[in-house]
Chains A and B, each alone.
Chain A
């Protein structure tokens, strides 16, 4: 017992250190648990979505018309096990709901789609009669007839198609999960480094105590055991509140995250689905703390020396180079992440040494230049600090680089998205064609109106596409994949200013003449380029067309093909129709009145540009809430860690700084030196984070984003973020200096009392 008391007496003398370590473990657990819980929920949701329609097929009409209740009845009466699946698209925050008939699904047995959710509470399943009521409130809806298996013999006039809950996203969902896993790992790495740095500092201070214990006959092994036990107990106490806080964090971010999942993959987040995580998280955090703090015991002594040796630096440079090359050449996301990890490892390995070397060199140069001794001292002291604070410096560097990159990514996306929205929402008003109303009559009426501005008719539906060679026989229908169809009539001036990612000459004219445009997602997924031939099936009619342009289509997973409305076959049945209208010399009220007259209804549904834009921005904000929040929290954690570490480190050298006073420097000058020293330290870390952050920005926009989401973003730099980070770093440095000043004053007062 006495041994234990002697062992922990260090923390009685330095309670702040114990608190710092505890806070680190709590915050690290919180952050990691939060991110991991969300990742697990996303994984579970994606899995459930896949499970819900696993191996399902749906029945379509061979004539291309949409299936109806009558088709359902005919198929059931023919003995086929089919069930209705009515999708209602509502704008956020409600999102999509799916109407199902649990009675009709009885024949599916355990493979009933949607059965895994077990409830009809709107998340996302509801009884189909409730879904119908929703659809009659004006939301876009689509009925599918799911079939229980692929081997059913269909009556003539029907065909089977593979059914997917979400749009065809290829490997995007997996990539998304990989992104989240990578984020979790990064958080784990940064928090591990922080915990290790705080712990190592304490151990360094306790080395003399351990030596004393050894001289009193306590074997070194016993000391190690007690040290491990101490960590286990501390982790045990700290992990629990960390888990709770992490769960709260996940719950807080869950709404936005769910929205992101819904927007990106049409997948609903099923909350509370990762119940087994807390104990796993506790185990992982315990392992992390033990590994981070006790890894020295596992690594042979001679290897530890290598890390900071010249050989070590060469190896680090090699790792860095291999990482850079891997990312540049990566063909899939796993390689991109592996390369990124190597770059981080190499950079983290090199940074403290390089910074110390730079400070040392500057100091030596200062000596040669005849610069004052204080400046030389400051630089040498800085070099010493880089070596001693290597771990928190690296952690802060990583955190800053990540924040920088994520911030740049989000801002780039925001500005690109704004620009894209502006061109997509060129029209001032959007008029929805009521269900059953004749859009052609309305188009004729608009044509007759004098003074009306540019307008076009939009029809949305489904096409089946396949890239192919001209003239080659049609591929089997099963080889074709579904894509959203976007038809324009006429190809008005409202769209001609779109900035296209790639195009042939005069693309809009070629679109009018039978060419097609495709979105970036479709192009990337099927390696399509301008000039390629595409086989398109619309409403049971198959045609071939040349790709005349590729357009950006941010923030959604579905592939889309744009055609001129004139190219649509007679039997095409649109899922949704609208008119984009600039009223020109007329008022929208006039136009609305005309359309109401054509359709013989009392009121026309009109949305203005601003409301749609607001809705889109809302979806955007929700989508990036998580990324922003996590990166900000990581930065805060790293900054707090640096603050704690610097303060503790400065405290250990307080006697040394006090020598400056003893040597005759006025207190004001000593304080100034401390301020410059701490600000230099944090600014140097920021500086070291910049190249890594810029490189990471490039990786995110040009490598990971296209691989994960199917669309790329332009690479843009935002120096104001660098400045912001610099201000945060300088502020941290100033706070450290302020704390040190209090420490020195306190110490001087104590000395005076003692004398």
Chain B
């Protein structure tokens, strides 16, 4: 899963434009406000039995309400210092559009969908973040499956012509990165053939990842340009109802372990309960789905920040595999202060396995 925060910020953006008299928000960023409304709205809701289709699923899903393309990378600079990079682009539809129908005329400045992109760099305890917004179907933001391309203004992730590599270019205020991404593994489908449940009642999203990305390139921070390389993690996810009513946010982890195995785990926060799920991916790319009772996730240490109290150290266990991990964010604060603030930080992993990864925490901001 890669429940992305900002998502529904796009809905709010829609409210800015006067196109939506939104109901009071429920769940983080209003992501649960569609509960019970999906039927009849015209949007398709993923369900068990749905499968992934390629190459179409690299591109947008106009019949679904929400989707995102997400990349994190744990990189190191030439001198071995760790550096984290995040890029996410969200699409929020305000009305569904059949796949076979043409997109609306850009001359009408349509608002059938809105786009949002987040870019962040974390380095030596500092965190840089920029958010970008765009109206859908005008042309300066969008996504295509073939050739694979996702863009918003001058930010873009695109397949390089004649190459298996992708290129990611992002420029913020005084910082930027330009990275090449080479995939050395296959597509990892989470949950049941790509359907990832988000609650015990079975609501969920379609979710797949690329977990074996080799990342190289440069990161520029002010006057300083750093050569970087490392591991990346790419997520694709779409749905029309993301959170269940009562779910307030989530804690999400994507970890590269030193032995080559990977772990994705998330916890959805509810008023009186939590919903846990995950994927254990072995070195061959085989996925073991971890159910609610098969892993534990506990906040160990909390950090007080201006934005709110955040659990920065976690314990994650998978008893069946004798996995017992301590996941820790580096010193510093890693709030992505966009329309909906959330925490997005690189993490280090110690315990039964060593490793690095990324952690996203929502629902902790004031």
Contacts and interface: CB of A to CB of B under 8 A. Distances in A.
Interface of A: 68-70, 72-73, 76-79, 84, 86, 99, 101-104, 106-107, 119-121, 126-130, 132
B118 to A, nearest CB: 12
Interface stretch (B12-20, B296-304, B343-351): B12-20
A106 B133 contact: yes
Interface stretch (B103-111, B277-285, B354-362): B103-111
Given A69-B109, A73-B140, A84-B109, A102 B153 contact: no
B244 interface: no
List of 10 A-B pairs having minimum Cβ-Cβ separation, nearest first: A79-B154, A76-B140, A73-B139, A103-B133, A106-B133, A120-B18, A127-B17, A128-B109, A102-B16, A73-B140
B153 A103 contact: no
B134 A103 contact: yes
A77 B138 CA distance: 12
A87 to B, nearest CB: 14
B121 interface: no
Nearest to A107: B132
Contacts of B64: none
Interface string B291-331: 00000000000000000000000000000000000000000
Nearest to B111: A129
A170 to B, nearest CB: 34
Contact of A101 (B131, B135, B151): B135
Contacts, number: 70
A126 B132 contact: no
A77 B19 contact: no
A120 B132 CA distance: 21
Given A101-B109, A103-B13, A120-B18, A72 B140 contact: yes
B184 to A, nearest CB: 31
Interface string B118-153: 000000000000011111001110000000000101
Interface of B: 13, 16-19, 106-111, 114, 131-135, 138-140, 151, 153-154, 171
Given A68-B107, A78-B154, 4 more contacts: A69-B107, A79-B153, A129-B111, A130-B18
Contact of B132 (A70, A72, A78, A106): A106
Contacts of A106: 131-133
Contacts of A128: 109
B133 to A, nearest CB: 4
Contact of A99 (B109, B110, B131): B109
A371 to B, nearest CB: 80
B13 A77 contact: no
Nearest to B141: A76
Contact of B109 (A107, A120, A132): A132
A72 B19 CA distance: 22
Contacts of A102: 13, 16-17
B325 to A, nearest CB: 38
B109 A103 contact: no
A77 B171 CA distance: 12
Nearest to A131: B109
Nearest to A73: B139
A107 B134 CA distance: 10
Contacts of A121: 18
A129 B108 contact: yes
A78 B154 CA distance: 6
Nearest to A127: B17
A69 B111 contact: no
A101 B18 CA distance: 11
Contacts of B132: 106-107
A78 B138 CA distance: 15
A121 B16 CA distance: 11
Given A99-B109, A101-B109, A127-B18, A72 B138 contact: yes
B107 A104 contact: no
A76 B115 CA distance: 14
Given A77-B151, A106-B131, A127-B111, A69 B138 contact: yes
27 contacts: A69-B107, A70-B106, A70-B139, A73-B106, A73-B138, A73-B139, A76-B134, A76-B140, A76-B153, A76-B154, A77-B153, A78-B154, A99-B109, A101-B17, A101-B109, A102-B13, A103-B133, A103-B135, A120-B18, A121-B18, A126-B18, A127-B17, A129-B19, A129-B108, A129-B110, A132-B107, A132-B108
A145 to B, nearest CB: 12
A453 B363 CA distance: 74
A73 B138 CA distance: 7
A106 B9 CA distance: 13
A119 B111 CA distance: 17
A104 B153 CA distance: 10
Nearest to A78: B154
